[in-house]
Amino acid sequence: MKEFINAYRTQKISVDSFLKTFIGSLPKNYIDNPLEIVKKNRFIQLVYGVDLNFKQATPVVSRKESDSSQLGNDKSHYFMKLQLDRDDIYISNPYIHHKTGKASISLVQLVGSTYCVFDVNLIHLLEDLKLIEYNSAHDKIKRIIYFFGSTMLALVSIALIAYGGYIFFALLFSLSSSDFLHDVFTSIISMTLGLAIYDLAKQIFEHEVIYQSFHQTEDKQYKVLGKFLISIIIALSIETLMVVFKIALDDTSKMINAFYLLIGTTIMLVGLGYFYKTIQESTSKDDC
């Protein structure tokens, strides 16, 4: 959703000019029949009127209903930063609409003694102006796939954590006659991988299925990848330690294999350090 906000900010002058032209083309008494405007222009979500005392004067009209339950309600908190231009028009900053949950902006025009308020669906507006290419069906399919994938990853992570806990308690209560050291390391590795996969599933669900905020930091996705890699490196380090101990106790001639595994884990650790260094440098440049 952040890309829609950026697209609007990049083309703000053109979009605002279109909205002013649009509202200027409406008949003077359009507030008396707003349903026709809503039906003809899909980017208009809601229309209602507010009097000079900032009391709601007309029903809230949308495509599906006309809601009169808020007539007379105080709307002054919405008009605290209202600054009309020379055409008696005000266009708000983007926000998440409380009813639709979509990226929206509000368009206000003072007509006589009534503030006419239009809640505009920003995605539909940008799409109608050919500033973005947005396919709602594709977006829904993508979110369904991400939802299914993140859910399956979460289930896998829970299974890994449960398996690690089972091994630990079986060992604790002497229900298993396997090698003690091997079982302890296996339990730790299983739970570490489970936590890493769960964290990955949580990040996918938050960023691809739901939207928490318009103001997420640019390096958020890199931090997610970094946290996942850290968990993997920890698991590999534990595995390397386990292999070293087993070879040292059983057959020292295979120690070269443990050495190769140790070198590989070290390379991954150095690569992760370089990855973080690169991200920090790029972030510093962007801030400048």
Token pair listed for 253? 């001639």
Determine the pLDDT at residue 175: 60
- Count of other CB atoms within 10 angstroms of residue 207: 16
| pLDDT tens per residue across span 249-267 | 777 777 888 788 888 888 8
pLDDT of residue 55: 92
pLDDT of residue 219: 56
Check: CB of residue 12 under 8 Å from CB of residue 128.
Answer: no
Question: How many Å separate Cα 122 from the centre of its chain?
Answer: 17
Domain extents for the chain?
A: 2-128, 136-287
**Low-confidence spans in the chain with pLDDT less than 70:** 1-3, 133-136, 175-178, 210-224, 282-288
Q: Which of 34, 206, 197, 14 is nearest to 114 (CA)?
A: 34
- Alpha-helical regions (H) of the chain: 2-10, 12-24, 34-40, 122-128, 136-172, 180-204, 220-250, 255-287
Phi, psi of 68 (to 5 degrees): -100, 5
Tell me the Ramachandran region of residue 54: left when phi exceeds 0, alpha when psi lies from -120 to 50, beta otherwise: left
The pLDDT, as a whole number, for residue 214 is: 39
This prediction's pTM: 0.51
pLDDT for 152 equals 94
Q: What is the pLDDT of residue 161?
A: 92
Q: Which CATH architecture is the domain 2-128 placed in?
A: 2-Layer Sandwich (3.30)
Cβ contact 283:219 at 8 Å:
yes
Angle (CA) 184-187-189 rounded to 5° is 110
pLDDT of residue 283: 61
**CA–CA separation, 5 vs 246, rounded Å?**
56
